Structure 1
Amino acid sequence: MRWQPARLDPTGDNGWALVHCQQGFLFDHRGVLFPRDWLKRLNLPLISEQGLGYFEGEPVFLFELAHQAEVPGASWQGLRQFMLQDEDVDRFRMLGFAAQIGTWVNQHRFCGRCGQPMRQHPSERAMQCSACGIHHYPRISPSMIVLVTRGDELLLARSPRFAPGVYSTLAGFVEPGESVEQCVIREVQEEVGVAIHTPHYICSQGWPFPHSLMLGFHAEYAGGDIVIQPEEIEDAGWFHIERLPALPAPKSIARYLIELYLARRSGAAEPMLPS
């Protein structure tokens, strides 16, 4: 594995750095990693610097910026575009981790209890308030994603946020006090109005948009007609396995759930788990 997260001391100038702001990364013709000492000579609107880990044995740090500054010879690109274009799984895992850490740091610059500035904890990956002592650790929001099936048909839906023509599985965030299985049943009922049998867990994927852990399920249709939740769903329907619409990106857990079901239905080899 070429990417290994680790907590690194940001003192000194050695190593490489990623530059992140608002789910976007700075890149040039050489890629997304820049010499750290060179970046420090630029007048960047730096919020925080975080030690991330090692890529191909070299230390990597994160420069989290207040806004997307112009850097000669470089451009900004969104994390989703890197996911769609980059075949390098380890590099995308590094970018996903960096995006989550950068978002967390940006959102915890001030204490939510007393309003005082937060600072990095000296021995943990945490933000600490010197005034009241509260700690904030990187945020992970549990969410579920489920493929609902009815024999040779898949229940797929599209959000207004999707690329044109793309349909996907159903997803939603876990509410306080409920299990993930309860969340699956509730979200399916809310979003498309149908009932399902007991959902079965398949796999999970860290989903850095911006800080979710997606827990993937499969569930069989139990009854009811599709009635979409208009504020969440633009369209939904049953699609035969031989007449599927445009599907989510190959690296996504949604695509994996679909391809896994298709493979099991046909007896083909099962796809690789998403990284």
Structure 2
Amino acid sequence: MSKPRASIYKRYIPAVTPPPEFSGSAYWLIFHSGKLLVTETAGITGIPLLPALEQLSMVPLRTLYLGTFEQLPCYAAQVLEETPEPEGMAFRPLRSLYESLDEDLFHLAGKGIQMLAWDETHQFCGRCGTATVLAQTEHSRSCPACGLVSYPRIAPAVITAILKDNRILLAHSPHFVNNMYGLIAGFVEPGETLEDCVQRETMEEVGIKVKNIRYFASQQWPFPHSLMVGFLAEYESGEITVDGEELDHADWFELDRLPVIPSPVSIARKLIDWVVEHHS
């Protein structure tokens, strides 16, 4: 299967509260509207290293401590959309930074944007409406009135490369740009395993059955808060049928004659590239 990437935890130590006596610079993951503030110097993209956000004359809407990255504190902060860009820095869409930003920092930024979104949408208790309190020992918000505890949301989804006679099943959705084709994917529902989800999503989207389902790899996907779990599977039976709405076309493609496929940022592309490498 795929070669696993080195764990982010070789460089990153998660934590909830910052070190009390630290006085140096820290990594600041500063967001607004899904965009991350990055430094751009001599063609190199990085994350601002600052002793405090005030150095950039920015006032955060919210700030969360994430832990240490390469032994330096790391914070995620949300600022107003109209916040000006400091000289030598720019707000860039997070997805566009995958190939230019250090991979571990990209994944840490993904955690930061998800944590900020969770914090913003859980300021009040979903049960009784009371203002919640941020915990000091874990990433959670609790209700002081009824005791309900809310944790950051993660939505697991499966994505599957399906093979038949050295051809791969690719599908097109009406909202895909540049006539791109992708793999069959969908969110896991309550009461089903990941493998169940592969079976159900494949039947729902293209009307076929699959067999020999095998785990490939996973990828955090902070758009907005998914965990993509990749699988390989083989065609078992059935004829391709699409609903014309979620998908408007799907077909089996020869591995040397693929249409436009997803960019290298996605696990979909990693699955497709693996299939091409091992089945061509």
* TM-score (norm: length of structure 2): 0.84
CA distance, structure 2, for counterparts of residue 87 and residue 59 of structure 1: 18
Does the CA-based 8 Å contact 2:181-2:259 persist in structure 1? yes
Counterpart of 1:190 in structure 2 is: 204
**Are 1:50 and 2:40 counterparts?**
no
Match of 1:123 in 2: 137
Question: For 1:163-217, what per-residue CA distance to the aligned partner results, in whole angstroms no more than 9, with x for missing partners?
Answer: 3132211110011111211111111111122222242222222222121121111
Query: 1:9 is matched with which residue?
Result: 17
Give the deviation of 1:4 after TM superposition.
Answer: 0.6
Equivalent residue, structure 1, for 2:77: 63
2:12 partner amino acid:
Q
1:252 maps to: 266
Shift of 1:87: 5.5
Contact 1:155/1:239, CA 8 A, preserved across alignment = yes
Aligned mates of 2:81, 2:133 — CA distance in 1: 20
Name 1:21's counterpart in structure 2: 32
Amino acid at match of 1:224: G
- In 2, Cα distance between equivalents of 1:95 and 1:161: 26
Q: C-alpha distance in 2, partners of 1:99/1:171? A: 23
Q: Name the CA shift for 1:163/1:80 in 2 (closer, same or farther; >3 Å).
A: farther
How has the CA–CA distance of structure 1 residues 229 and 107 changed in structure 2, closer, same or farther, with 3 Å as cutoff? farther
Q: 1:155 aligned to 166, 169, 176, which one?
A: 169
Tell me, in whole angstroms, the C-alpha distance in 2 between the residues paired with 1:161 and 1:5. Answer: 39
Q: 2:54 aligns to what?
A: 39
The farther-off stretch of 177-186 and 229-238 is 229-238
User: Which digits, 9 at most, give the CA deviation of each residue in 1:68-121, with x for residues without a partner?
Assistant: 5333434322111112x3262122111111122112112212111111222210
* Aligned-partner SS, 1:103: helix
- Pair 161,105 (structure 1): closer, same or farther in 2 beyond 3 Å: farther
CA–CA separation in structure 1 for the residues paired with 2:159 and 2:218: 9
TM-score (norm 1): 0.86
Structure 2 contact 58–83 (Cα < 8 Å) conserved = no
Question: Which 5+ residue runs of structure 1 have no aligned equivalent?
Answer: 267-275
Deviation by residue 1:9-43 (Cα, 9 ceiling, x = unmatched): 25787523111234221234253325242436635
Alignment partner for residue 241 of structure 2, among 210, 221, 227? Answer: 227
CA distance in 2, matches of 1:64, 1:98: 10
Corresponding position of 1:201: 215
The answer as to whether partners of 2:172 and 2:182 remain within 8 angstroms in 1 is: yes
Instruction: Specify whether residues 218 and 38 from structure 1 end up closer, same or farther in structure 2 by C-alpha distance, changes over 3 A only.
Output: closer
CA distance in 1, matches of 2:241, 2:220: 30
Tell me how far apart the structure 1 counterparts of residues 248 and 51 of structure 2 sit (CA, whole Å).
Answer: 45
Structure 2, unpaired ranges of 5+: 1-7
